[in-house]
């Protein structure tokens, strides 16, 4: 079945909106074919059809986009053997060993999407970014300035309602903890200092 025939079949019993979307996808795929560009990945077709009635890639991948995927795959299948074989000069050399043209095309599409995903990740988390994880189990020269779990619990206890209730202490606007006679037990800014320590150490 040709892509034209499949288009008509897919449009049968479909809503007018779905029919319009199928026509838009068909037009973009046809343009790709006429240009001799055999990249029929969902992301590519979606990008080329942006503003022309083609849904976003995720919408095509959803269950509701089954007809759209079928039409795109039809173009990929019919043009699989036309996919130009590129010289083996990069980390995709192994793809050339795939003998099935359809499988080779699909692998190239997946590889392209993977590279794009990695590129987006690099923008979020720059390469060689150092991320330190402190588990507080084995203090070393690098994390001796960090609070251990035991030290952290001790400070949290001091500013907890349980501790204050036990010793009849009350925090005031100056960050002090005062007793029943309003006499400071912990100095000004004590509570703020403890909170900052818990946040940064």
Burial class of 57 by CB neighbour count within 10 A (0 to 12, 13 to 18, 19+): middle
Asked if the structure places residue 118 within a domain, the reply is yes
Q: What is the pTM of this model?
A: 0.42
Q: Report the percent of the chain where pLDDT is more than 70.
A: 79
In this predicted structure, the answer to whether residue 175 has a pLDDT above a threshold of 90 is no
Supply φ then ψ for residue 189, to 5 degrees: 75, 10
Domain housing 181: 149-200
Is residue 126 within 8 A of residue 182, CB to CB? The reply is no
Place 19 in a pLDDT band, splitting at 50, 70 and 90: very high
Give the containing element (helix H, strand E) for 60: helix 57-61
Selected residue with higher pLDDT from 22 and 164 = 22
Give me 132's structure tokens. Answer: 């330190």
Asked if the structure places residue 196 within a domain, the reply is yes
35 lies in the same domain as 95: yes
Supply φ then ψ for residue 184, to 5 degrees: -60, 130
9 lies in the same domain as 80: yes
The number of domains in the chain is 2
Asked if the structure places residue 139 within a domain, the reply is no
91 lies in the same domain as 169: no
Q: In the block, which residue shows the tokens 């300035």?
A: 145
13 lies in the same domain as 85: yes
d(CA 37, CA 75): 11
d(CA 40, CA 44): 7
pLDDT at 2: 83
């Amino acid at each position: 079945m040709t892509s034209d025939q499949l288009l008509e079949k897919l449009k049968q019993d479909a809503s007018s909106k779905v029919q319009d979307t199928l026509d838009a996808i068909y037009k973009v795929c046809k343009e790709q074919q006429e240009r001799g560009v055999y990249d029929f990945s969902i992301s590519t077709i979606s990008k080329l059809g942006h503003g022309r009635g083609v849904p976003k890639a995720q919408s095509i991948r959803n269950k509701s986009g089954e007809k759209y995927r079928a039409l795109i795959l039809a173009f990929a299948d019919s043009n699989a053997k036309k996919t130009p074989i590129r010289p083996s000069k990069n980390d995709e050399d192994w793809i050339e060993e795939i003998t099935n043209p359809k499988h080779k095309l699909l692998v190239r599409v997946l590889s392209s999407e993977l590279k794009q995903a990695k590129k987006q990740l690099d923008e979020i988390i720059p390469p060689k970014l150092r991320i330190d994880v402190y588990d507080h189990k084995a203090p070393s020269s690098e994390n001796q300035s960090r609070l251990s779990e035991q030290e952290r619990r001790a400070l949290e206890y001091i500013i907890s309602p349980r501790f204050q209730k036990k010793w009849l202490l009350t925090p005031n606007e100056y960050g002090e903890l005062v007793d029943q006679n309003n006499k400071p037990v912990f100095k000004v800014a004590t509570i703020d200092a403890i909170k900052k320590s818990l946040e940064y150490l």
